Amino acid sequence: MNLEKLDLSGNNVTNLAPLASLRLLSVLCLSANRISNLEPLRNCEGLQNLNLAGNIISSIENLHCLQPLRKLENIRFKDNTYNYTNPVCRNAAYRNIVLEMFPNIKVLDGERVVGRGSELYQLCKDIDDTIKAGLYKNGQLVEHSDCKPWVEDNYWEIKRSNNAIIEEAYKQFNDVLHECRLLNNRATHVISQTERSMSLKKQPKQYAI
């Protein structure tokens, strides 16, 4: 009865009735199941984080029972990382409707919508969408021949200094890099020799009469 965190992902769960008595539950993961009815979660008033990605929740009406959950801050109905979703997510207005239904939500489907970091996240998302939109025209990838590097060609070149300490550090660093290259060459040689010897062992023995 005092359970606070529960992960039931990937268990073919269809009925949530046994969870209705877990009023102290704060984190609940139900991804990758076969859930369509969320009504029993209405009583889980302590829920803050709820993952329902990868189920069969079909309509916005199925979400109304979650509205009394005032502590709910993080909710997920789809997860692009694992290609989990719900039929309800196909609704063109899904995102806006969910945010209106749950005004206290800070994170929706893994995207921060309010609070610290939300503006930066949205900015990066807008930039990403703009770049993707500019890459394709009529479904074809567009090559931009006029693209130029962000910095000048010699930007990354190390500028030498008259400071003796810096010069010595620069020399030691180059020595270390040189040793690393030598070790890499030796390792490559040993690996190639080992692979060659192993391939020879795998060949069937031949006899000449």
How is the chain split into domains, by residue range? Answer: 5-114, 164-201
The third-level CATH classification (topology) of the domain covering 5-114 is 3.80.10
Stated pTM of the model: 0.60
Per-position pLDDT tens, the chain of length 209: 899 999 999 999 999 999 999 999 999 999 999 999 999 999 999 999 999 999 999 999 999 999 999 999 999 999 988 899 999 999 989 999 999 999 889 899 988 887 666 666 667 777 777 776 666 666 666 666 666 666 677 766 666 656 666 777 777 788 888 888 888 888 888 888 888 887 766 555 555 54
For the chain, the three-class secondary structure string (H helix, E strand, C coil) is CCCCEEECCCCCCCCCHHHCCCCCCCEEECCCCCCCCCHHHHHCCCCCEEECCCCCCCCHHHHHHHCCCCCCCEEECCECCCCECCHHHHCCCHHHHHHHHCCCCCEECCEECCCCCHHHHHHHHHHHHHHHHHHEECCEECCCCCCCCCCCCCCCCCCCCCCHHHHHHHHHHHHHHHHHHHHHHHHHHHHHHHHHHHHHHHCCCCCCC
